[in-house]
Amino acid sequence: MKILLGQGISIFIILLALVALLLYALWGFPNEDAWWTLLEMTYAEIPFGAWIIIVLAFISFSFSLNTLQKVRDQEKKIEKGLRPLLEAETFVPVNKKQAYSKRLHVTTSQLEQLILTQRKTLQRITNQKAEDQDKLIQERIVQERQRLARELHDSVSQQLFAASMLLSAMVEIEEAQQGEAPKTLLQTEKIVQQAQLEMRALLLHLRPAALHNKTLREGLEELLTELQEKVLFTIRYRLEDVQLSKGAEDHLFRIAQETLSNTLRHAKATEVDILFVERDDLAIFRVQDNGVGFEMTEGKNGSYGLQNVKERAVEIGATCKVVSVPSQGTIVEVKLPIEKNAELIKEGEPENDTNIISG
């Protein structure tokens, strides 16, 4: 309302000044003979001077109202055109009648591009920040796992080993003196040995999954060699060099850790066979033991360790198969399709299945 009154009064003053200049040009400087007749002559008992003022006021405020209405209509058009930008849409005029002027259309298009560019930049910065935070968290998790593994190995693991040695010596002494060791002593020795296996499985699980510029075969061989020195059962393995992506190798290495950790905890096996080979454009990783096995029920098959193995296999596009028979053992097999470059395949090169590396 204030805008309407202010604009109307301004136009009225301008029109009144133009009429005064026109009368001055016709009658000269105001005098009683010329200008006074505007007050003496009347129409409908209203002087002509008053009619001039009324008409000028009507024209002024009508023009002001019409202009204000057009401005508001244009604002609505602009708002309607810019609203899609707030909703991540593309600015497009509705039709030719509602389209803006050429200059305003160009300005709006530039504004659209600026907003879209700023939005993409903010999204990229946000995504990068989230990725950096995830990377930092993963690095801290790995460092914490390494610290825990070192402390457990240097303290609890060594104490369990010492306790196991003392119990073994006590059992030998009792058997030498009395011909048979007490059952409680044998049970205690068995519990300590089981605790050692649990600790080794935990240390294996805490081992970092990164291969540190090693191939998967080298990483697995180092892992199995180190593990063989700490367990009482026999480990046999056949490992081949298979060309895989870095992500696939890291996932398969973690799958190997999970599977071997489950074997240490639950299998009670005397023999474990590990296979990692390439056959028919498939990378095959298999762990087989002769342990106690388990019933392939829904609850057991969905246990935490096996579920992790299956999820990691799915993440790299592999298939995971678990077969277990009570009192006969368990087989965990992961098959990953290999995308090969045809130029790297040597024609007529025979496959060698006879090289078996055993530990």
Q: In angstroms, rounded to a whole number, what is the distance separating the alpha carbons of residues 228 and 211?
A: 19
Q: In angstroms, rounded to a whole number, what is the distance separating the alpha carbons of residues 121 and 221?
A: 46
pLDDT per residue, tens digit, the chain (359 aa), is 777 777 778 888 888 888 777 877 776 776 666 666 666 666 667 777 787 888 888 888 888 888 888 888 777 877 776 676 666 555 555 444 445 567 767 777 787 788 778 878 888 888 888 778 877 887 777 677 667 767 676 677 677 778 878 888 888 887 777 777 788 888 887 787 777 767 766 666 666 556 767 889 998 998 888 888 777 789 999 999 999 988 889 889 889 988 988 888 788 889 999 999 999 999 999 999 999 988 876 545 446 678 889 998 998 999 999 999 898 999 999 999 987 643 334 444 444 443 333 33
Which of 199, 221, 223 is CA-nearest to residue 209? 223
Cβ atoms within 10 A of the Cβ of 244, count? 19
In contact, 237 and 273? CB cutoff 8 Å: yes
**Residue 155 is encoded by which pair of tokens?**
């303290």
Residues 6+ apart with CB under 8 A from 39: 47, 48, 49
Which helix or strand (DSSP H or E) is residue 235 part of? Answer: strand 234-239
Class of domain 215-359 (CATH, top level): alpha beta
DSSP class of residue 29 equals: S
Which residue carries 């519990």 as its tokens? 191
| Stated pTM of the model | 0.48
Q: In angstroms, rounded to a whole number, what is the distance separating the alpha carbons of residues 346 and 354?
A: 20
In contact, 324 and 272? CB cutoff 8 Å: no
Q: In angstroms, rounded to a whole number, what is the distance separating the alpha carbons of residues 165 and 39?
A: 130
